[in-house]
């Protein structure tokens, strides 16, 4: 009879230890689930903050575009400004264009890439470049020589070197060197003139 008591005690002890192990494993599993949920919540908050920042940039740029276009419209109405025609010679052909016709928003079909030309004067182009929905720099300056303008955009530790070429009914932006993420060397052709944004 004593052997049965020992067996019962050992069996009870075994189930007690097994129950403790199961409780510990479940506790670890629940802790991991909680940690993952917390990380997802934090990532979601960060993404919302980024989206809010991007929306603020879009709102700011839209406001600036509205101010510029209303200023241009006012100047055109009251001053009756005549535009100057400039002749530019390229290697293969002569391109005749009115520089003021390049002022405004230019897009690229089926993409989030935009080029907004604020002004062209004193051999300088002032512009904003939006690549894949992200504004690169702010009121960037390019030195104009003929129909080609060279520029360097610096934003924090990143820089972008390139050239803008004004051609008939389009603007080519040639990226010669870039340290921005996801912006590679190459040429982007902006052929969709979207006008002055109100």
H or E element, residue 99: none
Among 147, 151, 129, 146, residue whose Cα is nearest residue 138: 129
CA distance 187 to 195: 22
Return the C-alpha torsion angle 133, 63, 102, 166, nearest 10: -40
Q: Which positions ≥6 away from 123 have C-beta within 8 Å?
A: 143, 144, 145
Query: What topology is assigned to 83-195 in CATH?
Result: Lipocalin (2.40.128)
Q: How much is the pLDDT for 90?
A: 43
Give residue 70's pLDDT: 82
- In the numeric block, which tokens belong to residue 85? 């025609």
Strands 158-167 and 148-155: antiparallel
Q: DSSP secondary-structure letter at 157?
A: T
Which segments of the chain have a pLDDT < 50? 1, 81-96
Q: Are 196 and 101 in contact, with CB atoms under 8 Å apart?
A: no
Residue 89 has a pLDDT of 42
The pLDDT of residue 80 is 53
Residue 196 phi, psi (nearest 5): -80, 125
């Amino acid at each position: 009879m004593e052997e049965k008591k020992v067996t019962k005690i050992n069996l009870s002890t075994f189930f007690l230890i097994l129950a403790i192990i199961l409780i510990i494993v479940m506790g670890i599993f629940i802790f991991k689930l909680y940690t993952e949920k917390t990380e997802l919540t934090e990532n979601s908050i960060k993404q919302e903050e980024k989206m809010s920042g991007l929306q603020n940039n879009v709102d700011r740029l839209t406001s600036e575009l509205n101010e510029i276009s209303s200023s241009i419209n006012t100047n055109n109405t009251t001053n009756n400004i005549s535009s100057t025609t400039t002749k530019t010679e390229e290697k293969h052909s002569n391109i005749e264009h009115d520089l003021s016709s390049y002022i405004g928003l230019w897009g690229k079909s089926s993409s989030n890439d935009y080029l907004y030309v604020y002004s062209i004067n004193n051999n300088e182009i002032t512009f904003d470049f939006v690549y894949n929905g992200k504004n690169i720099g702010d009121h960037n300056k390019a030195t104009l020589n003929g129909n080609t303008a060279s520029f360097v955009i610096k934003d924090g530790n990143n820089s972008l070197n390139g050239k803008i070429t004004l051609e008939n009914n389009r603007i080519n932006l040639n990226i010669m060197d870039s340290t921005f993420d996801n912006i590679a060397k190459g040429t982007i052709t902006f052929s969709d003139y979207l006008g002055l944004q109100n």
